Structures are given as structure tokens and as C-alpha cells.
Amino acid sequence: MQPDGGTAQGVLRETAQLVGAVGRAMGTTLRNLFRRPVTLRYPDVTRVYPDRFRGVLALTYDRETGEENCIGCRLCEYICPPQVIKVEMLKAEKRNWAKTFTLELYSCEFCELCVQVCPTDAIVMLKTFDLATTDRRELLLDKDRLHALGLRFEHSWATGTRLRDMQAPPKAARAAGEGGARE
């Protein structure tokens, strides 16, 4: 489109080139006009979350006994980079419990390190992320709410044991079995 002087032939060639380019550009958009839209009507239609989706955190119950899995060991509290987890331990005879377990979801980075270190697979991530709210206090999750969330939404694949097995160098054979707890 730069009208620099030149021979008539040059002008013709340039014009032909320009027309070709315009045609190609508009042809590309036209081709896309007949493609299916890739966006989804989100609240009605949700996409399929992959197995390892890192979403909202939750606490789990033991499948057989129905007891809480968390033993209040505070490993997740120590490793959490943004320090959103606070746990108090309740010592008991048979096993320990978490007296309180709070998680400030509004500051969470979803790095999955807490899941990774959990020795009892008590904390997991869920295949959901949209807990939007108008009050940030609703995102300050305590133990009861974390357990309730765990019952409400589908769990992701990752648990502490699975992640550590996947990374473990020597005993890779052990991880082969599937059959884990999935609510």
C-alpha cells in the first residue's frame, strides 16, 4: 500500500501482492467464521477438568472408619509458602487430631505443597475453583467447612502418598496400583 514510485510493472505487481494479502487475511477470518466457537457458556457448561486439577483445598475422612484423616502434624503449615494454613494439634492416646485447622483461601497459591507433604492424605485439592463470594470471611475456611467441601466436590487425583510415590526414585514399581480413595 506504500505508493512509492516505480515502473508500471512494479506497481502492478505490488497491487497484485496487496490484493492477494488482503484476500488471504480476510479468507482466514472467513474460515474461522465457520469454525465452532471455542468458548463455553460458562456457568451452564463447564469444561472437563483434568485429573490433576489444582483447585480449592479440602480435608478428607477415612473411607473405612469415617474418621478425620488429619492428625494435626502441622507439616502443611510449615511448608505453605504464603502461610495461609494454621493448625493446632490435639493430642490423644490412639492418634492425634487437628483441634483447629484454618485455611485462608483468599491468599492461597494453589501450589499443592501442602498436599504433597501430608503424611495421612488428609488434605486434597478439589476439581472446583469458583467459590466466588462478596465477603472474604467466607473464604476463611475452618475445619468443618474444609471437610464439608471435601464431601461436596470431586477430589483431584493427587494425594500426598501418590505425589511422593510418583517422585520417589527407587521404588517406582510400588505406585502402579490404581484403586485409591476417591470420593
Partner 1 sequence: MPETQTRQVVELGYAGSERLVMNMGPQHPSAHGVFRMLLTLEGETVVAMDAIIGYLHRCHEKLGETLTYVQYPSIASKTDYVAAMTSELAYVSAVEALGTFEVPRRAQYLRVLVAELQRIASHCLWLGTWCMDMGGALGGGATVFLYCFREREEVLDRLEELTGARLLYGFHQVGGTRYDVPAGWDRKVRDTVAFIERRIDEWEAMLEDNAVFRVRTQGVGVVSRELAQEVGIAGPLLRGSGVDFDLRRDAPYSSYGDFRFRVPVEAAGDCYARYRVRMVEFRESIRIARQVLDGLPEGPISSRPGVKSVGQVRVPKGEAYARVEGARGEVGCYIVSDGGPRPYRMKWRGASFSNLAVLPHIIPGHKVADVVAIMGSVDPVFGEVDR
Partner 2 sequence: MPSFARHALEAAVVLGALVGLVAYVTLLERKFAARLQSRIGPYYVGWPHGWLQPIADGLKLMLKEDVVPARADRGVYNLAPIVFLVPCLLIFATIPFAPGLGVADLAIGVLFFLAVSSLEIVGLFMGGWGSNNKYALLSVMRAVNQIISYDLPFIFVALVPVLLAGSLQMSAIVGAQAGLWFVAYPVLGQLAFLAFVVATLAAENRVPFDILEAESELVAGFRVEYSGMKLALIQLGEYAHMLGTSFLGALLFLGGWLGPGPAWLGPVWFLAKALAIFLLVTWVRWSFVRIRVDQILAISWKLMLPASVLLLLATALWVAAGGAGAA
Q: Which residues bind partner 2 (CB under 8 A)?
A: 1-3, 25-26, 28-30, 32-33, 35-39, 41
Compute the distance between CA of residue 17 and CA of residue 120 in angstroms, rounded to an integer: 67
121 binds, among partner 2, partner 1, none (CB under 5 to 8 A by kind): none
Residue 147: partners with Cβ closer than 8 Å, 6 or more residues away: 58, 59, 60, 61, 68
| Closest separation in Å from C-beta 15 to partner 2 | 10
Which stretch of DSSP H or E encloses residue 163? helix 160-167
| Closest separation in Å from C-beta 65 to partner 1 | 24
* 40, 46, 95, 119: residue in contact with partner 1 (rule CB under 8 A): 119
Side chain identity at residue 110, one-letter code:
F
Q: Is 135 helix (H, G, I), strand (E, B) or coil?
A: coil
- Give yes or no for residue 179 binding partner 1 (CB under 8 A): no
* 98, 117, 123, 141: residue in contact with partner 1 (rule CB under 8 A): 117
Which grid cell sits at 26? 480476510
Give, in order, the Cα–Cα distances in Å from 160 to each of 22, 58, 86.
56, 13, 18
Residues 48-107 that bind partner 1 (CB under 8 A): 50-54, 75, 78-79, 81
| Closest separation in Å from C-beta 122 to partner 1 | 14
Residue 126 is given by DSSP the state B
Give, in order, the Cα–Cα distances in Å from 143 to each of 70, 86, 138, 150.
10, 10, 13, 11
CB closer to partner 2, 40 vs 92: 40
Which grid cell sits at 148? 464439608
CB closer to partner 1, 66 vs 177: 177
33 binds, among partner 1, partner 2, none (CB under 5 to 8 A by kind): partner 2
What is the contact surface with partner 1 in residues (CB under 8 A)?
A: 1-2, 17-18, 20-22, 24-25, 27-29, 31-32, 38, 50-54, 75, 78-79, 81, 109-113, 116-117, 119, 125, 156, 158, 163-170, 172
